[in-house]
Amino acid sequence: MATTARYWFWLAAAVLFRVALIGFSGSLKLDTRPEVATPLTSIRRLAEGYWLKKLGMSPYSGSMYHGSPLLLAILGPLTAKRTEGRSDYLFCGMIFVMADFVTAMLLRSTGRKLQSGYKQFLRSAKHPNLLEASRNVDAGEVASLIFLWNPMGILASVGMSTSAIDNLMVIISLYGACSRLVPLSAFGWAIATHLSLYPVILIIPVILLLGYGPDAPPKKLHLLKNLQVSRFSWRPVMTFILWAFIWSAYVLALSSISLGKFGGLTEMFKKTYGFILTVEDLSPNIGVLWYFFAEVFEIFRGFFLIVFNINILFMLLPLAIRLSHRPCFLAFVYVAISSMLKSYPSVGDSALYLGLLALFINELQELRFSFLIFCGYIGVSFLSPVMHNLWIWRGTGNANFYFATGIAYACLQTLLVVESVNGILNHDRTLRKRLVAG
């Protein structure tokens, strides 16, 4: 009871801390920071798109708004100024706080379902020592608290970055798959893909979750102990594909109605997915593509666009084969890799994959270089705004200063993914040896 009360206390404190910071969001001006707001997630760009549409113009006119027309219809009115001079930004900020809260709750439930499946496997293996050792930390509660107290997530929420809604949709999809709530999982995946192109790759871990169930050790362990091997079930997968098609068609129909006078779906795809794939906006962010395409010769631009965009796809199949027994961990790897290589990354992406990583805190207790990675994230978090200030405002630096922090950030994410995959595979090898010996 004391542990539960402590958990809810820290969860409530995280929510109240966000609410308090939103009251000062006007003076903090986080919605202008390149680490928080990107051309796809900026609330200011969304407000600009809303006003363009309100004036009878296409919201995609010019080069400001590149998000979903449905998100524009929902959040756009909240960004409008009232006649007495006040704004609805505070209420708009509360929506992002609630999105983070719901995401944390779904992370907690997902973590408990994963731990339940893992312990069920150990019970079937009839290994009481391993079962007792697994009862140490509630990964779901830890993941939800890490997500809520992650400074990067707090910055994204207070800066009113729409990445909070993107993250919520991704977690809804994974939670629905773990819980075998197929329509809910398909809804989350369809909306996440509509808001940002990159979540489309999560269809692989979602299908594995629906086919095999929650994460469990490799099938080799079942064969070694003569346990019943869980067979892949195609029925929930086919149901998911059907529901994904229905939700996607519904979203596209609403988008077509919303943009009926402004070019329809053709304009939407060109200004959203096309904008993502062609990296048209070269304003600075915490990624590496903006600097690269600012320096590359125009004649080679098309070639390198293909290289960078297809680079993510090359990693999907090998990772899916090697980590098919842990689809939720595979989802973490996919999200982390897309956060490194996407056109317009933000700190909200890091909040998502670090929350997913915390679901495996028990398996990754002996993660190597954890202190180095932790210190590296802190260092980059402080150096990034400093280098940006020296370059843009003080004029005592240049773009290389800020780009160096982006390179360091990408290296840290690469190290985190590599060591996490190595740690989870080492855990499974150790478990297999113990089961064989026991």
Specify the number of domains making up the chain: 1
- Report pLDDT for 84: 40
Look at residue 262 in the predicted model and tell me its pLDDT.
81
**pLDDT in single tens digits along all 438 residues of the chain:** 567 888 899 999 999 999 888 877 666 778 888 899 899 999 889 988 988 888 888 899 878 899 899 998 888 888 765 434 445 567 778 899 999 999 999 999 999 888 877 777 666 656 555 555 555 678 889 999 999 999 999 999 988 899 999 999 999 999 999 999 999 999 999 999 999 999 999 999 999 999 887 765 555 454 455 555 567 788 999 999 999 999 999 999 999 998 888 878 888 999 999 999 999 888 899 988 999 998 888 899 999 999 988 988 888 999 999 898 889 999 999 999 999 999 999 999 999 999 999 999 888 888 888 899 999 999 999 999 899 888 988 878 788 889 999 999 999 999 999 999 999 998 888 877 776 665
Residue 162, φ and ψ in degrees, nearest 5: -70, 0
- Residue 270 to residue 84: CA distance in whole angstroms: 38
Distance (Å, whole) CA 86 – CA 76: 15
pLDDT at 405: 93
**pLDDT reported for residue 86:** 47
pLDDT confidence of residue 83: 36
Instruction: Give the CA count within 13 Å in the CB-facing half-sphere of 339.
Output: 27
Domain containing residue 88: 2-437
Residue-level pLDDT at 87? 52
- What would the DSSP string read from start to end of 364-419? TTT-TTHHHHHHHHHHHHHHHHHHHHIIIII-SS-HHHHHHHHHHHHHHHHHHHHH
As separate numbers, helices (DSSP H) first and strands (DSSP E) second, the chain gives 21, 0
pLDDT at 165: 94
Q: What is the pLDDT of residue 193?
A: 95
pTM of the predicted model, to two decimals?
0.93
Nearest to 286 by CA among 18, 41, 26: 41
Q: How high is the pLDDT of residue 125?
A: 57
Q: Which pLDDT value is given to residue 137?
A: 75
Residue pair 432/219 in contact (Cβ under 8 Å)? The answer is no
